[in-house]
Structure 1
Amino acid sequence: MIDAVITWVDGNDPLHRDKRRRFQDPSAHPEASGPQRFISSGEIRFSVLSLLKFCPFLRRIHIVTDDQRPFVSGALRDDNRIRIVDHKGIYADHMDLLPVFSSRSIETMIHRIPDLTERFIYLNDDIFIGRPMRPMDFFEDDMPVLQGQLKRLPNPILRCLKSALGQSRPGYKAAQQAAAGAVGRRDSYLLVEHQPHPMRRSTLARFYDGSPAALRAQAGHRFRSDAQISPISLTHHLEMATGARILPPVDVGYIKPGHPAGTALAGTMEDLNSDAFASFCVQSLEAMTPDDRVTILSGLEQRYG
């Protein structure tokens, strides 16, 4: 059995905006606490539809959220394969750490989802399955199939100097590099794209077993911090140590504001509708131009609606 997990929040919700304001951390990097990080433009609907359409082998889809319910219309509303999981349900005995707004904090706890299968696929809500997939695209027997590139780790002295010069941006690559260091890698790390991630529930559970202080230190940051590692990357590097196979990324589609644009963007959406991508990410849809938003949403509606 295989489940899917999606993390989602609607930052436009007045109650959520007020909660972020009340617990605002002035030391947090502006990119970690700004409102744009939490805006929802309806991507969750397409993410769920993509899983239902192209991964029929999934037992259940868990949507992890903060006292909210995503808007899903029609048959999705009554689909018993979709389960809403509140942050309280995964923090449980560590509920005193809530609320948290850092995706890295939340991802650290997703292995604690009640009734989660051992094997699962993790996605952010702006990531979509692009074409029909099979269980063996994600797992070989029980082992995750990792897709990424091995990169050389940066000089640790230079990294420390950069951090000492001021507040570091909690970047995507840096969190993966830190995850590699957490499991003892000193020469290289696995860089993965914005794509679905095959994971095993027991991998994070074993890593933090007997170390509640380490779990709380990682999962207790209210906003994303450069002191946090990527828990997704942590699982990748732990799986590498047990022999997981690493493949180059295959047909990973990616769009962000301004890239591509115009006719190139329209062509990319046509490619999506022609099975060109195994997975597809639309980052920061809310920051796109109105014309680009229309192009993207109409392409997603054509593919999944």
Structure 2
Amino acid sequence: MNMRQDKIDVVYTWVDDTFPGYAEVLARHAGKPADTNPNRTRDNLDLLRYSLRSLRHLPELGHVHLLTCRPQVPRWLDPGAPGLTVHHHDAVMDAGLLPTFNSFCIVSHLHLLPGLSDRFLYLEDDMLLLRPGLMAAMADPDGRPLSHFTTRATVPADRLKPGDSPWNHALANADRALDAAYGPRPRHHAIHGPRIIDKARFAQVLDRFAPEVAATRAARFRANDNVPPEYLYPHAAVDEGWHRAATRAESDTVEGYVSIDNVLPLTRLMMWRMERRRPLTATFNDNFGARPNPRVVAFMRRWLQARFPDPSPYERADSTRS
């Protein structure tokens, strides 16, 4: 896969747990407290809105695809805007899998979106572009894509307990499957940042690990037998020789991870550190817990509005909330 292409589509996944009826559906299917963790479903900062505004830093932008559960559409979004398509889960997922609240399951269907370019940029809704240059940082000069990883090693399955988070179990499952397919080697977490995905090769990876993917898709919530496609694919791409593993410096250039906590001085410090580094992207991970601190929410909203004040072409003309 050569990265030298004029335009690239962007795919987002998004959900808002305040959308009418969503909380009731979630409660009917939830089986444990982690299933209703608001950190994964809350949209109190309108991060998707600002992420779309940040696409001004992506001159290679083709079409924007938003994948969400039916009938959700962000209240401020114009779903008929040129260059934008809103897809609902039932457009690409079997009815028997729905409703799903499992991000791993959802991501495993991204390549099936109608009209999607052969390669695309996957952004979670809390990821924003801070300055131009992302596509150049996602590939070698000859066009070979890069997989970006952190310094954090993946914990193997034999060191985990059943009560550890499904996220950690999923990483360990993926690692075990990768070891069986390509041979054992140390692997690290993928960065909290954009992913370059080739549709055909993504499908090939999912087929190679079909049993693990089937178990993942069958789980309405993240479960201990799942695998995260967003971790599986960049590692498999390196093992296959499609991608090169980025250096630490290259990954640091791309990733700007910030945990948004309820302690305002801590969040201010993390934001200051991120801005001082000047990464190409920022990921604002919701770590508010059950009750977001209004002072932290206000601080982040001021920062977002100051950094990205201009509406994107995808916003409704009558949308006034900032």
* 1:69 shift after superposition: 0.7
Distance 1:276 1:86, change over 3 A: same
Distance 1:8 1:102, change over 3 A: same
1:147-186 map, 5 Å = 147-149=148-150, 152=153, 154=155, 156-159=157-160, 162-163=161-162, 167-171=163-167, 173-184=168-179, 185-186=183-184
* 1:193 shift after superposition: 2.4
Distance 1:103 1:271, change over 3 A: closer
1:80-91 map, 5 Å = 80-91=82-93
Letter in 2 for 1:256: S
Letter in 2 for 1:127: M
Partner of 1:280: 282
Partner of 2:3: none
Residue 57, structure 1, aligned to residue 60, structure 2 = yes
Q: Secondary structure at the match of 2:40?
A: helix
Distance 1:152 1:282, change over 3 A: closer
* 1:177 shift after superposition: 3.5
Distance 1:139 1:116, change over 3 A: farther
Partner of 1:232: 230
Q: Is the 8 A contact 1:176 1:189 kept in 2?
A: no
Partner of 1:291: 295
Q: State how far apart, in whole Å, the 2-side matches of 1:84 and 1:5 are.
A: 10
Distance 1:245 1:260, change over 3 A: farther
* 1:137 shift after superposition: 2.0
1:10-49 map, 5 Å = 10-24=16-30, 26=31, 28=32, 30-41=33-44, 42-49=46-53
Q: State how far apart, in whole Å, the 2-side matches of 1:102 and 1:135 are.
A: 29
* 1:32 shift after superposition: 3.2
Letter in 2 for 1:57: E
Letter in 2 for 1:47: S
Partner of 1:123: 123
Q: State how far apart, in whole Å, the 2-side matches of 1:263 and 1:32 are.
A: 27
* 1:264 shift after superposition: 6.7
Q: State how far apart, in whole Å, the 2-side matches of 1:146 and 1:4 are.
A: 17
Letter in 2 for 1:144: P
Letter in 2 for 1:13: F
Of all paired residues, the percent bearing the same amino acid is: 22
TM-score by length of 2: 0.79
Q: Is the 8 A contact 1:139 1:198 kept in 2?
A: no
5, 10, 21: which one aligns with 2:11? 5
Distance 1:89 1:139, change over 3 A: farther
For structure 2, the residue ranges without an aligned partner over 5 or more in a row are 1-6, 310-322
Letter in 1 for 2:22: H
Distance 1:87 1:142, change over 3 A: farther
Q: Secondary structure at the match of 1:256?
A: strand
C-alpha RMSD over aligned residues: 2.8
1:111-260 map, 5 Å = 111-140=111-140, 143-149=144-150, 152=153, 154=155, 156-159=157-160, 162-163=161-162, 167-171=163-167, 173-184=168-179, 185-209=183-207, 215-243=213-241, 244-247=243-246, 248=248, 249-251=251-253, 252-258=255-261
For structure 1, the residue ranges without an aligned partner over 5 or more in a row are none
Q: State how far apart, in whole Å, the 1-side matches of 2:68 and 2:121 are.
A: 17
Q: Is the 8 A contact 2:178 2:184 kept in 1?
A: no
Q: Is the 8 A contact 1:98 1:220 kept in 2?
A: no
* 1:142 shift after superposition: 5.8
* 1:204 shift after superposition: 2.4
Q: Is the 8 A contact 1:63 1:83 kept in 2?
A: yes
Q: Is the 8 A contact 2:216 2:223 kept in 1?
A: no
Q: Secondary structure at the match of 1:181?
A: helix
Q: State how far apart, in whole Å, the 1-side matches of 2:153 and 2:42 are.
A: 34
* 1:12 shift after superposition: 0.9
Partner of 2:317: none
Q: State how far apart, in whole Å, the 1-side matches of 2:10 and 2:20 are.
A: 28
TM-score by length of 1: 0.84
Q: Is the 8 A contact 1:39 1:286 kept in 2?
A: no
Q: Is the 8 A contact 2:13 2:123 kept in 1?
A: yes
Letter in 2 for 1:291: R
Residue 102, structure 1, aligned to residue 120, structure 2 = no
